Amino acid sequence: MNDANTLTAQRTPPLQQFVEHDWFRYTVVALIVFSAVLLGMETIRELPQGLLDALYRINRAILAFFVIELVIRIAAYRLDFFREPWNWFDFVIVLAAAISPSGPFQVLRALRILRALRLVSAIPSLRRVVDGLLSAVPGIASVMLLLVLLLYVAAVMATLMFRDIAPELFGHLGVSLFSLFQVMTLEGWPDIAATVMAGAPWAWIFFVGYILLATFMVLNLVIGIVVSAIQSRIEAEQAQSEATADAVLLREIRELRSELTELRGAIERKT
């Protein structure tokens, strides 16, 4: 595997080797983190104006580095750069951060913090997580539809059963939907249940059943789908890496066999 990676690196153009080198990627990651910290410091009102001006200049220098880095990557990969979705992500983020609106649009300067999101594309493990989430969207959408259906059915039942007991919580369908959503998040649900149980002692059956279905079953399905999608993504990347390495080794073996055949023919001709 290491030999295959070495052979592949030898065939890679120098500028691409420079961009793909570990120290270059680590420098970009470090500057992204440092830039995010500096932008957070700018929100501190107690900082003196001189320090704020210095932070602004440092941020502009870091942004200039990101622009240069993006230009180098475009020069290294050329049109192939725009075939990768993550490269488009970096391009849009750097472009948004480079915009310095003034006047009524000065609030858009807050978009500079979007530079921190480049950590997602710069760190392979984060990319795998996001790719896994995106690939799990169809399955998650189905589970979310099931959850919405369960929430609606439970809200109609709760409104019919508890609107006279706790009108502030279940007086109409909209309030019931919000209350049951709060119960689903397990935030303050004992207080909601206690309020209803003061007038209907048997109401605990409804709340316990709803929590078991909505929280411990349906939401755990979402977690299972996401974990499965991420695992599948990792396995696919490993299989692709192994296939690429095997293809490189096979090509090199064929070239060596061809060279050996030519060398053998030259020796036979001499003898």
What one-character-per-residue DSSP string does 208-243 give? HHHHHHIIIIIHHHHHHHHHHHHHHHHHHHHHHHHH
CA 244 to chain centre: 25
Comma-separated ranges of CATH 1.20.120.350 domains in the chain: 2-122
Mean pLDDT of the chain: 79
pLDDT at 178: 93
pLDDT tens sequence across 10-26: 556 777 788 878 788 88
pLDDT at 23: 84
Q: What b/e readout covers 190-228, taking b as 16+ CB neighbours within 10 angstroms?
A: eebbebbbeeeeebeebbeebbebbbeebbebeeebbee
- CATH architecture of the domain formed by 2-122: Up-down Bundle (1.20)
pLDDT at 9: 47
Fold of 124-271: Helix Hairpins (1.10.287)
The angle that helices 189-197 and 203-213 make with each other, rounded to 10 degrees, is 150
Q: Are 203 and 162 in contact (CB under 8 A)?
A: yes
pLDDT at 79: 82
Q: What b/e readout covers 164-174, taking b as 16+ CB neighbours within 10 angstroms?
A: eebeebbeeee
C-alpha–C-alpha distance, residues 194 and 186, integer Å: 14
pTM comes to 0.54
| Entry field: residues in the chain | 271
The DSSP line for 70-109 is HHHHHHHHGGGGGGSHHHHHHHHHHHHHH----GGGGGGG
pLDDT at 109: 58
* Average pLDDT by stretches of 10, the chain with 271 residues: 46 75 83 82 77 82 86 85 82 75 52 70 75 77 86 92 90 91 87 90 91 84 79 74 78 83 78 67
Q: Are 207 and 190 in contact (CB under 8 A)?
A: no
Comma-separated ranges of CATH 1.10.287.70 domains in the chain: 124-271
C-alpha–C-alpha distance, residues 267 and 271, integer Å: 6
Question: Backbone dihedral region of 111: left (phi > 0), alpha (psi from -120 to 50 degrees) or beta?
Answer: alpha
Closest CA to 109 of 93, 94, 97: 97
How far apart, in Å, do the first and last CA atoms of the chain sit?
39
Q: Are 175 and 168 in contact (CB under 8 A)?
A: yes
pLDDT at 29: 83
